[in-house]
Amino acid sequence: MTYLHNEPQDFAAESHEGFAAAFSAWVAPVRGGVVRRVRPKSGQVAVVIGGGSGHYPAFGGLVGAGLAHGAALGNVFASPSTQQIYNVAKSASNGGGIFFSYGNYAGDVLNFNQAQERLRSEGFEVETVAVTDDIASASKEEIHKRRGIAGDLAVFKAAGWAAEQGMNLKEVTAIANKANDRVRTIGVAFSGCTLPGATTPLFSVAEGTMEVGMGIHGEPGLYKMDHPSADDLADIMVEKVLSDLPEGVTPKGSRAAVILSGLGRVKYEELFVLYRKVSQLLEAKGITIVEPEVGELVTSFDMAGVSLTLFWLDAQLEEAWLAPTSTPAYRKGTVAPVDPDAQDFFDPTSVVQTLTVGTEISIAEAKKVAHAIELARKLVDAEVDELGRIDAIAGDGDHGIGMQRGVSAADKAAKQAVDANAGAAALLNSAADAWSDFAGGTSGVIWGVILSSVASELNNESEITKEQLAAGFKKALQNVKNFGKAQVGDKTLIDTLEPFAIAFDEAVTSGKSFEDSWSHAAEVAMKSAIDTKDLLPKIGRARPHAHKSIGTPDPGALSMAMIIGAIEKVWK
């Protein structure tokens, strides 16, 4: 469990604040994360990494000379929002282009891609490599769908070294891609983890057993087995990694960096016992081990588990791996002093945003929207445990927590907008930003897209009409499809959003009243959400264990249908 916290919802922000204070010689805090304390020389590619909190030293602990220039830090087990990533990238940029790298999770992909497009629209050169080292999360034929775990370090290190050498953005990207192609990881877990303020684990592993391939957010593994001895575990992990060799790699005569990472509760002496056998097995295969790392590199709060990573080196990647590095959590060799530019870091969110004041009519409409968000928040508060339980059947179990963080932030933002006499569109846009920023992850960005899409059809002068809402939800449907690429039948939120948007629009077009149109569409939404129990997930974290979700509705589809039903009374 997590012993030290204040209000659980403040845990990530307070942890980030304390981290920046503890390592102020290395990092400077900016909105959304941290950047290097000393700005590198002009024209250097800025390597920006990021992901959810709860995995230290990933990601803030890897910011410093020889590694990353900045890290966007999301909430607990949730990707950083688009705005957070954008802020950190702008702050870290120094004229040489921006390189993004992160673990290949749906929420991170969505948010980093949106930040990338926003930066490109402003004239920045941006490239991305999503890390895909986890061999348990997809087959070799679908390697692009694999998750990123402890292999993050190898890819980040290669990119950071290339940037320090003065290579351009294209060259940095090429080296990071090569590193990603040549890194493989397998993880095992003996127990789950407990999030700050929670009384029970987010996920669990049966006593006396081990789950092979479990993800760092609790994504189910490949199979369960009895808890082995350390030597037997070494045999299992080495065999798994060597069975998934990169193209062109033959173990005998190869050189490889080895990363043995504890996930939180398995500590150093235990790791040394395990590494003793791992090194013997690898050397017996004719593999030369190059500067191994044994410790905590990517963690998961108090999760009892361990991961083994092999980073297959060529001459260039070995030079990158051995290069000096100085960050809060990872130091190697001696880093030469940096001659910084005489300029401060720029935090692009330092300018206070103001809300558009509405007319008397629109202020009244804004209060209706705020009431709808409050009802959604109360609904999620009541159902948070059940949504988490449903999500844990085939996913990572954090859907309820993520929804609660997002809708609570949106509720707070809406109340502040009401106090500022904001119009309806301004209030809903503010709520959308808050939901996306504080929820993080896939659901955070999707709900941010939905609310902002609806807001784009409203204004700050007149009453909200049923036609405006119908147009807003149709736009939301299209935008969510564009961002997430999901379709009806993939067992996602789209399986609720599309039937609802179509039913509401048809009812409005046929001349039904506002109340009747919403009521009819809400019934369609709930039926559609429940019907997802018969579907197999085709994208997202549940996809590798799709069969486990049969008989259970998709949590994202269900939570949306429940919210639609809960706010029906607002339009009466």
Q: What angle do CA 237, 239, 243 make, to 5 degrees?
A: 120
Relative orientation angle of helices 399-419 and 555-566, to the nearest 10 degrees: 30
What is the spatial distance between Cα 324 and Cα 148, in angstroms, rounded to a whole number? 24
Closest by Cα among 528, 373, 522, 529 to 454? 373
Q: Is the CB of residue 80 less than 8 Å from the CB of residue 72?
A: yes
- Is 217 among the residues known to form the active site? yes
> Which residue type is seen at 108?
D
What is the spatial distance between Cα 528 and Cα 496, in angstroms, rounded to a whole number? 6
Q: Which two tokens stand for residue 449?
A: 């897209």
Catalytic residue among 16, 55, 217, 399: 217
Residues in the chain: 572
Give the DSSP H or E segment for 455: helix 441-455
> Cis (ω within 30 of 0) for the bond into 190?
no
Q: Which two tokens stand for residue 276?
A: 């003793």
Q: What angle do CA 472, 475, 480 make, to 5 degrees?
A: 120
Scan for tokens 């390592």, then name that residue.
23
Closest by Cα among 303, 300, 313 to 189? 303
Closest by Cα among 78, 19, 46 to 401? 78
Q: Which two tokens stand for residue 520?
A: 């009819």
What is the spatial distance between Cα 555 and Cα 370, in angstroms, rounded to a whole number? 24
In terms of C-beta density within 10 A (0-12 exposed, 13-18 middle, 19 or more buried), how is residue 345 classed?
A: middle
Q: Which two tokens stand for residue 180?
A: 């990603």
Question: Chain-centre distance of CA 338, in angstroms?
Answer: 32
| 27-30 sheet: strands from edge to edge | 27-30, 33-36, 70-76, 46-53, 98-103, 126-131
- The residues assigned a catalytic role are 217
